[in-house]
Every structure is written in structure tokens, then in C-alpha cells.
Chain A
Amino acid sequence: DAGVIQSPRHEVTEMGQEVTLRCKPISGHDYLFWYRQTMMRGLELLIYFNNNVPIDDSGMPEDRFSAKMPNASFSTLKIQPSEPRDSAVYFCASTVSSGETQYFGPGTRLLVL
């Protein structure tokens, strides 16, 4: 298995633009997570899905952030409009069941100018 796949690996955009991050979880995993990592705040859980259904989005910073999981093999995290403070590394992770080890993707490094 190729592991969790994220794209793009790097994204540079200007303030106000829409940004879409993509994730393909490991096949057979029922849970998918979106995290954000910064030097100041470390790793933060934004939202997670179980069987394509959003379970907890309390970590989503504000309405500018939205996430979808249209099927078991694909999820997106969208920021619209983007702001410089959104600059961070965004990780996607998946796991086979609740409480099991989460497998992280390589991350998307986002820079908003």
C-alpha cells in the first residue's frame, strides 16, 4: 500500500485566494483526520470522518475552513478565503478503527502571502 497520499505537497498562494488540499487515505481505513501543524501550536486536530461522515469538526478554526469526504478514498480540505495566518503544514491521517494507530500522510506545506 502506498500509505496516505496528500496533494499538493507544497502550495504558495496569495491572501484571499481559495486553497484546496487533497487526501487519499489507506484503503480499508474507516477513519480520516485532518490536522494542522505550526511551530507555535504544534499538531491540532481540525476534523475527522468515520465512514465518510464528519464526526467532530470542533477544531476547524472558522467558517473559512471546510472539509468534505465524498467517498471512502478521497477527502478535501478547503480554505476560502485564505489568510497569512493559515500558513502551516496540513496533515491527513487515517486509521482502520477507533483507538488504533493513525497513519499520517507526508503533509501539505501551505504558505499564504
Chain B
Amino acid sequence: KNQVEQSPQSLIILEGKNCTLQCNYTVSPFSNLRWYKQDTGRGPVSLTIMTFSENTKSNGRYTATLDADTKQSSLHITASQLSDSASYICVVSAPNAGNMLTFGGGTRLMVKP
């Protein structure tokens, strides 16, 4: 069964600090991997999307990396801000699966002043 596992489940950091969120997946074959940010009470919003041939993708202070050999991805947040407090969800899709996505359970990040 295709799975996407994220760690840690939750994380608390101080404002201004960096952090890294992890995503391991077993989806194979693999098409692309997305990181979504979900603020409390809102729908997920796409941060990055990477195909199997890409190693890194940045979106402002967010940088996602991908190692397709080890089936691991990370999302690094630099100089965290209070507004980064949210859940971050890793989503993997397989080729020829239409729009079928496999979602991770998410990491809940809290940034404290």
C-alpha cells in the first residue's frame, strides 16, 4: 500500500529559528511530490511541487528537497515567523493515476515569539 509518513508530528520553535520537516514515502512509481501549508480553519495551500528529476525547489523562506533514491523529502523553513504556524502536509502522486494523491498525516508547527 502506498504510504506517506511525516515527522515529527508536531514541532514548537522560537521565532527566527530554522526548522526542517521530513517526509518519507513508499509510492512507486512516483510522479511528483508537493508540500502544502494548511492554516488552522483553512484549506491547504500549495508551497512547492517537485518531479522525480528535481532535487530542490524554493518558495521564499521555504525550501523543499527530494531524494528519489531514498524516497525522502524535507521542507526547510528559514528564519521562521509567527505566520508559519500551521500544518505542513506532504503529498505524493503516482504516474498514470490521474489525480490520485497520497497524503501524509502532516506536521503541526507552532512558532512562538
Q: Using a CB–CB distance below 8 Å, which chain A residues touch chain B?
A: 4, 31, 33, 42-45, 48, 50, 55-56, 91, 93, 95, 98-99, 101-107
* Interface positions of B from 93 to 113, Cβ below 8 Å from A: 93, 98-101, 103-106
Q: Is the CB of B42 within 8 A of A99?
A: no
Chain B interface residue bracket vs A: 20 to 34
Q: Is the CB of A99 within 8 A of B93?
A: yes
Given contacts A42-B104, A42-B106, A43-B89, A98 and B99 within 8 Å (CB-CB): yes
Inter-chain contact total with CB atoms closer than 8 Å: 47
Contact check: which of A42, A93, A101, A107 meets B42 at CB < 8 Å? A107
Report the separation of the CA atoms of residues A80 and B32 in the bound assembly, to the nearest whole angstrom. Answer: 36
Q: Is the CB of A93 within 8 A of B49?
A: no
* Closest CB in chain A relative to B105 CB, distance in Å: 5
